[in-house]
């Protein structure tokens, strides 16, 4: 009689550190699932994969919108269509990925289970309806409609924040990872509440402050408050895991996280008030916190046993460098007496936004998807089959060449987009939009190739057993 096939016997690697860390709900022997469809592994990833799929659709839609109207980047960043495009990218793509990632990573990193999957599905439904409504409302500048759809999105984010905080509390964990997840959820909720308030203010005019200053504060709540906070914690869970490294000292990581939080609180107030010197000082505090995190990441990478970076990890780190560049640009814009400002052309707020979004967050988030989506797909499609039939390796689900070209073209698009926004050259903007769209198309093809395993799993043939010696 042949022994049961093990994952390693048929070319599939043993479970990674992330797979081993995935929480297993306790099961009594009498209720142990029998079929693969009822296994705990079969239920893993369904919710976060739904968010990732929705985010992928928004990535295609956002790049398509920019391709259709690249001249939008030659306008002021307060133009209604520019605000619509920004929300398509940030709220449609980046925030959707972040929510899906938190729903998976928070339980895994904290060794617990999600507090309420039902509430998370409600969040998904509200988000799927509210975000396109908001983008459309911005595009046609219908403030009443914007308020309705903004309330729908905010209600979903309230469910997300409550769910996240309860999950962290249930785990009983503390430290940079737990705090970054909790704080990022808080910043996301505050961003949504401020956004709805600003939409109401444009309708009723009850806040006696410059609307442009308030818009800047709102944008930084989302871009810096949510994503910088999340990266300063979660990155130290993901990158060492994927590079087989370790974090040996958390003190610098903690210092960087809290320095950025203190700077963020002051920055939002200073931006809303429109005062240059405090804005610069608090921006410098955030940059100092980011430097602490960068040094800590460099130390963690020095311990890695996997010396070569795969495309996802490489571009995640490239995105970190892009965020560093965006911080330098932001400090230069905010510097007291700076000749640069919000007017189109030259070194403007649009150039700063492009560095932050296209040069920083996009490679970071897309690189993270290259790691998370294959893992979640493998867990759901093949995890329950481990030990029963041959299964492919999680890394075999991707196409590295598509990943490299897709991510590479997305990064290459930043240069012509920046030149076009700086010189108000529509030809350069069109070229950048085409390169970006090509990169997004290749990246999307790779992600679709991964996700297809959910419906059409591929079971490799088992290696033939050696003939018995007589």
Question: For 123-165, how does the pLDDT look when each residue is reduced to its tens digit (9 = 90+)?
Answer: 999 999 999 999 999 999 999 999 999 999 999 999 999 999 9
Length of the chain: 470
C-alpha–C-alpha distance, residues 122 and 335, integer Å: 43
Nearest to 436 by CA among 406, 461, 395: 406
**What's the distance, Cα to Cα, between the start and end of the chain in Å?**
16
Domain ranges of the chain: 43-381+392-454
What number of CA atoms fall less than 13 Å from residue 429's CA on the CB side? 22
- One of 3.30.70.20, 2.60.40.3140, 1.20.210.10, 2.60.40.10 is the CATH number of 43-381+392-454, namely 1.20.210.10
Question: For 389-411, how does the pLDDT look when each residue is reduced to its tens digit (9 = 90+)?
Answer: 888 888 889 899 999 999 999 99
Please give the angle made by the CA atoms of 264, 101 and 382, to the nearest 5 degrees: 165
Residue 67 tokens, joined: 């391709």
| pTM attached to this predicted model | 0.89
Could you tell me how far CA 320 lies from the centroid of its own chain?
A: 12
Question: For 191-246, how does the pLDDT look when each residue is reduced to its tens digit (9 = 90+)?
Answer: 999 999 999 998 888 999 999 999 999 999 999 999 999 999 999 999 999 899 99
Whole-angstrom CA distances from 2 to 5, 35, 445, 464, 468 are 8, 21, 39, 11, 12
User: How would you classify residue 175: left for phi > 0, otherwise alpha for psi between -120 and 50, otherwise beta?
Assistant: left
Nearest to 157 by CA among 211, 220, 222, 215: 222
Question: For 73-85, how does the pLDDT look when each residue is reduced to its tens digit (9 = 90+)?
Answer: 999 888 999 999 9
DSSP 44: T
C-alpha–C-alpha distance, residues 7 and 5, integer Å: 7
Residue 395 tokens, joined: 């890394």
Grouping H, G, I as helix, E, B as strand and the rest as coil, residue 35 is coil
User: How would you classify residue 244: left for phi > 0, otherwise alpha for psi between -120 and 50, otherwise beta?
Assistant: left
Whole-angstrom CA distances from 80 to 84, 342, 453 are 6, 15, 40
Question: For 95-133, how does the pLDDT look when each residue is reduced to its tens digit (9 = 90+)?
Answer: 999 999 999 989 888 888 899 999 999 999 999 999 999
Other C-beta atoms lying within 10 Å of the C-beta of residue 32: 10
Q: Which residues contact 164 (CB under 8 A, 6 or more apart)?
A: 102, 106, 181, 182, 185
Mean of per-residue pLDDT scores for the chain: 88
C-alpha–C-alpha distance, residues 108 and 167, integer Å: 11
User: How would you classify residue 346: left for phi > 0, otherwise alpha for psi between -120 and 50, otherwise beta?
Assistant: left
DSSP 422: H
pLDDT the model gives residue 77: 83
């Amino acid at each position: 009689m042949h022994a049961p096939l093990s994952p390693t016997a048929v070319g599939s690697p043993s479970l990674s550190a992330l797979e081993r860390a995935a929480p297993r709900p306790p099961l009594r022997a009498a209720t142990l699932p029998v079929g693969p469809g009822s296994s705990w592994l079969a239920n893993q990833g369904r919710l976060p994969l739904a968010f990732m799929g929705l985010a992928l659709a928004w990535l295609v839609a956002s790049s398509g919108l920019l391709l259709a109207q690249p001249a939008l980047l030659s306008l002021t960043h307060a133009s209604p269509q520019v605000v619509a495009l920004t929300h398509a990218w940030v709220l449609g793509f980046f925030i959707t990925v972040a929510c899906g990632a938190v729903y998976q990573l928070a339980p895994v990193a904290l060794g617990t289970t999600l507090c309420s999957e039902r509430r998370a599905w409600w969040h998904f439904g509200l988000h799927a309806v509210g975000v396109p409504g908001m983008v459309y409302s911005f595009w046609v500048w219908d403030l009443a409609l914007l308020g309705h759809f903004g309330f729908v999105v905010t209600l979903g984010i309230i469910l997300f924040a409550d769910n996240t905080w309860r999950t962290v509390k249930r785990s009983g964990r503390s430290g940079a990872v737990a705090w970054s997840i909790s704080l990022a959820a808080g910043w996301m909720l505050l961003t949504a509440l401020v956004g709805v308030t600003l939409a109401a203010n444009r309708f009723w005019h009850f806040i006696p402050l410059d609307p442009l200053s308030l818009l800047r504060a709102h944008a930084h709540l989302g871009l810096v408050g949510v994503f910088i906070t999340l990266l300063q914690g979660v990155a130290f869970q993901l990158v060492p895991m994927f590079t087989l490294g370790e974090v040996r000292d958390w003190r610098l990581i903690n210092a960087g996280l809290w320095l950025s939080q203190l700077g963020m609180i002051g920055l939002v107030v200073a931006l809303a008030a429109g005062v240059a010197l405090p804005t610069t000082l608090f921006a410098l505090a955030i940059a100092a916190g980011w430097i602490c995190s960068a040094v800590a990441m460099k130390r963690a990478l020095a311990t890695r046993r996997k010396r070569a970076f795969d495309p996802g990890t490489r571009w995640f780190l490239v995105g970190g460098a892009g965020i560093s560049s965006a911080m330098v640009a932001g400090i230069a814009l905010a510097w007291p007496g700076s000749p640069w400002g919000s007017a189109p052309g030259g070194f403007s707020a649009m150039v700063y936004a492009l560095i932050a979004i296209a040069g920083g967050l996009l490679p970071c988030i897309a690189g993270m998807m290259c790691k998370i989506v294959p893992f979640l797909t493998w867990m759901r499609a093949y995890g329950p089959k481990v030990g029963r039939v041959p299964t492919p390796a999680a890394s075999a689900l991707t196409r590295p060449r598509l990943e490299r070209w897709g991510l590479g073209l997305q990064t290459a698009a930043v240069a012509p987009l920046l030149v076009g926004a700086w010189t108000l050259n529509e030809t350069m903007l069109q070229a950048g939009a085409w390169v970006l769209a090509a990169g997004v198309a290749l990246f999307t093809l790779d992600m679709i190739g991964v996700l297809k395993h959910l419906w059409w799993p591929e079971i490799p043939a088992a290696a033939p057993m050696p003939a018995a010696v007589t």
